[in-house]
Amino acid sequence: MPAFHTIDDLGDLTGKTALVRVDFNVPMEGGRITDDTRLRVALPTIRDLCAKGAKVALLAHFDRPKGKRAPTMSLAPVAGPLSELLGAHVAFADDCVGEAAKSTIAALGPGQVVLLENVRFHPGEEENDSQFAAALAQEGDLYVNDAFSAAHRAHASTEGLAHLLPAYAGRSMQRELVALDLALGAPKRPVVGIVGGSKVSTKLDLLQNLVAKLDTLAIGGGMANTFLYAMGHPVGESLCEKDLADTARDIIAEAGRKSCEILLPIDVVCADALGPGVETATRDIGDVRPSDKIFDAGSKSAARLNAAIDLAHTVIWNGPLGVFEIPPFDAATVSVARHTAERVKSAGLIAVAGGGDTVAALHAAGVADDFSFVSTAGGAFLEWMEGKALPGVEALRPR
């Protein structure tokens, strides 16, 4: 992994203020948090900085206020639940810059915490405005980024600020970077990638990047139909981007040049309609009927992928193999997820997964906690898999 300064590089911080970028864009209903996972993720960094004597000022965004103050998008409701999780009072400042922020921070003692108001209330945040970044920098002595999930955005609090203060990776950011490096940066080979989802068009950059880095790439979900069609197999009335057949063939050809084996389904689960309890039929590729709709990979496809995983040292996964939300079309995803988790336990397999649907699928299979690392970063995880530089990460590199 490229060198990044971390909290371990910091000594006593008494008298210093640490500006910490966190991701508190939590789901809310009626002004109450319905899932506090993102708050919990930030606790190790907050606690470590407090233990070093720092005043900790938390920077975060919530929703999309488009540069204007919106009371329904205030971070004020987060301060209470965060206090409970932290076991210590978290103050709240009505702004992230100016007198409101300055006076609240000044009133803190060593090891105390303040949550600053939504940075996106200022248009300079998403514009990465240098003056706004400078105003944020005036509030602190050092900067810690613990929000990998926002690292793909070149905003003032995720990128601009890192150039104005000594910059460090927080604990969550550090864990993410280490895990991702193990998956694609310097992985133990063979490496198997699993990419699912509905459309090839949304993951072209991802597929083109991965075929150059993986030993085996398994393609599932609706996007597999496009590849099957491109290879001359019937897909009935299934979701299929027929206009991308040439693109799919180009990806397969590039994989061949890069010695990356492509695994497509060899059998599929079909039905006339999508719904729980519908009548299904499992057909070999080549036997799909004109009226069929493909909603999952078949058991032989899952078994073949599991056999490839048995030979792998690293697995990286983005996207389910079928419409996992509606049984029985979750069978292939669950089979491969549980097999991967078992290999992590029994064989030391490194298994890294990410993306909203993927995380939900692993939870549904009951194995999310058994993978080596599961990223909840969404867009940032996908852009990293696509091989793109993430501004919030690049800004942390030592200069």
pLDDT 10s digits, 192-203: 999 999 999 999
Residue 139 sits in the same domain as residue 209: no
Q: In 3D, which of 32, 52, 37 has the Cα closest to residue 113?
A: 52
In total, the chain counts a number of residues equal to: 399
For the cut 80, the answer to whether the pLDDT of residue 2 exceeds it is: no
Considering its fold, how many domains does the chain have in total? 2
For the cut 70, the answer to whether the pLDDT of residue 51 exceeds it is: yes
Residue 214 sits in the same domain as residue 328: yes
Question: Is residue 94 domain-resident?
Answer: yes
**Cβ neighbour number for residue 388 with a 10 Å cutoff:** 14
Residue 317 sits in the same domain as residue 206: yes
pLDDT reported for residue 280:
96
Report the distance separating Cα 46 and Cα 298, nearest Å: 46
How does residue 398 score in pLDDT terms, banded at 50, 70 and 90? confident
Residue 191 sits in the same domain as residue 169: no
Q: What is the pLDDT of residues 304-360, one digit of tens each?
A: 999 999 999 999 999 999 999 999 999 999 999 999 999 999 999 999 999 879 999
Q: Are 146 and 21 in contact (CB under 8 A)?
A: yes
- What is the sign, positive or negative, of the torsion defined by CA atoms of 323, 318, 218, 231? positive
Q: What is the pLDDT of residues 236-282, one digit of tens each?
A: 999 999 999 999 999 999 999 999 999 999 999 999 989 888 999 99
**Residue of 356, 378, 387, 388 marked active site:** 356
Residue 82 sits in the same domain as residue 228: no
Which stretches does DSSP call E strand in the chain? 17-21, 28-29, 32-33, 55-59, 90-93, 113-116, 142-145, 167-169, 191-195, 216-219, 261-263, 267-271, 280-284, 293-297, 314-318, 350-354, 373-375
Please, how many CA atoms are within 13 Å of residue 360, restricted to the half-sphere of its CB? 14
Contacts by 6-12 with C-beta closer than 8 Å and gap 24+? 6/168, 6/169, 6/170, 6/174, 7/45, 7/48, 7/49, 7/52, 7/144, 7/168, 7/169, 7/170, 7/171, 7/174, 9/168, 10/49, 10/52, 10/142, 10/168, 11/52, 12/52, 12/53
For residues 291-321, one letter each, b for 16 or more C-beta atoms within 10 angstroms of the residue's C-beta and e for the rest, the string is ebbbbbbbebbbebbbebbeebbbbbbbbbb
Report the distance separating Cα 226 and Cα 134, nearest Å: 49
**Residue of 21, 38, 120, 171 marked active site:** 38
The verdict on whether 199 is a catalytic residue reads yes
Domain boundaries, position 337: 187-385
What does DSSP assign to residue 269?
Answer: E
pLDDT reported for residue 130:
98
Provide the token pair at 139.
């509030």
Please, how many CA atoms are within 13 Å of residue 193, restricted to the half-sphere of its CB? 26
pLDDT reported for residue 1:
46
Domain boundary among 138, 173, 208: 173
Residue 296 sits in the same domain as residue 228: yes
Residue 253 sits in the same domain as residue 119: no
Q: What is the pLDDT of residues 153-184, one digit of tens each?
A: 999 999 999 999 999 999 999 999 999 999 99
Mean pLDDT within 201-215: 95
Please, how many CA atoms are within 13 Å of residue 251, restricted to the half-sphere of its CB? 29
DSSP 179-206: HHIIIIISPPSSEEEEE--S-GGGSHHH
The verdict on whether 38 is a catalytic residue reads yes
**Residue of 53, 80, 236, 379 marked active site:** 379
Report the distance separating Cα 395 and Cα 398, nearest Å: 8
pLDDT reported for residue 141:
98
Cis amide bond preceding 328, omega within 30: yes
**Residue of 16, 47, 102, 199 marked active site:** 199
Residue 12 sits in the same domain as residue 114: yes
Q: Are 219 and 195 in contact (CB under 8 A)?
A: yes
Question: Is residue 178 domain-resident?
Answer: no
Residue that the structure tokens 């669950």 belong to: 334
Residue 235 sits in the same domain as residue 99: no
Q: What is the mean pLDDT of the chain?
A: 96
Q: What is the pLDDT of residues 80-98, one digit of tens each?
A: 999 999 999 999 999 999 9
Residue 269 sits in the same domain as residue 120: no
The verdict on whether 379 is a catalytic residue reads yes
Mean pLDDT within 136-155: 97
Q: Which residues pair with 57 in a beta bridge?
A: 19, 114
Q: What are phi and psi of 366, to 5 degrees?
A: 75, 25
Residue 200 sits in the same domain as residue 130: no
For the cut 50, the answer to whether the pLDDT of residue 372 exceeds it is: yes
Share of the chain above pLDDT 90, in %: 93
pLDDT reported for residue 7:
96
Question: Is residue 2 domain-resident?
Answer: no
pLDDT reported for residue 376:
85
Residue that the structure tokens 């900085």 belong to: 49
Report the distance separating Cα 90 and Cα 390, nearest Å: 30
Question: Is residue 394 domain-resident?
Answer: no
For residues 355-373, one letter each, b for 16 or more C-beta atoms within 10 angstroms of the residue's C-beta and e for the rest, the string is bebbbebbebbebbebbbb
Q: In 3D, which of 39, 20, 252 has the Cα closest to residue 139?
A: 20
Residue 145 sits in the same domain as residue 228: no
Q: What CATH number is given to the structural domain containing 250?
A: 3.40.50.1260
Q: What is the amino acid identity at position 221?
A: G
